[in-house]
Amino acid sequence: MKTLWLLDLDGTLVDTSGDIVRAAGIVLRDLGRPPMDRAGIMCHVGLGTPVLLAGILGLDPGSPEVAAAAERFVAVYDSAPGSLSRLYPGTEETLGVLARSARIAVVSNKDGRLVRSTVEGLGLDRWVERAWGATAPART
């Protein structure tokens, strides 16, 4: 039986900040809100899309406005997955070594669709067998 490694995606294997900032900026623009700088957006990252958007919009995470903004964010992000994301140095080499003797899955509090599209968009699916996000597991 092979060992299973569960690895965090965002901020561990991949710097996804570029894609997050791009998608959040488009959502802000679409809602007629003023633009926000990278630091202003990124300080709300870490607890999932609704919390990110609630923070940048100044709304309650459970509000209908945040739910609608989250749907738009996911659509924008998924339109060009991984286009502005970058693998951290050594990620490919490490995954290659781990994959020789173990199975690999990634986890994230990002929407499951975005986890899968990011994994595939960056070519990590050659090592990663499963990708889990804030929604149901996604097979890569």
- Please list the active-site residues: 8
Cα–Cα distance, 21 to 42 (Å, whole number) = 7
Cα–Cα distance, 16 to 9 (Å, whole number) = 9
Sequence-ordered alpha helix ranges (H) in the chain: 17-30, 38-42, 49-57, 64-79, 91-99, 112-121
**Overall residue count recorded for the chain in this entry:** 140
Among the listed residues 54, 56, 126, the one whose alpha carbon sits nearest the alpha carbon of residue 87: 126
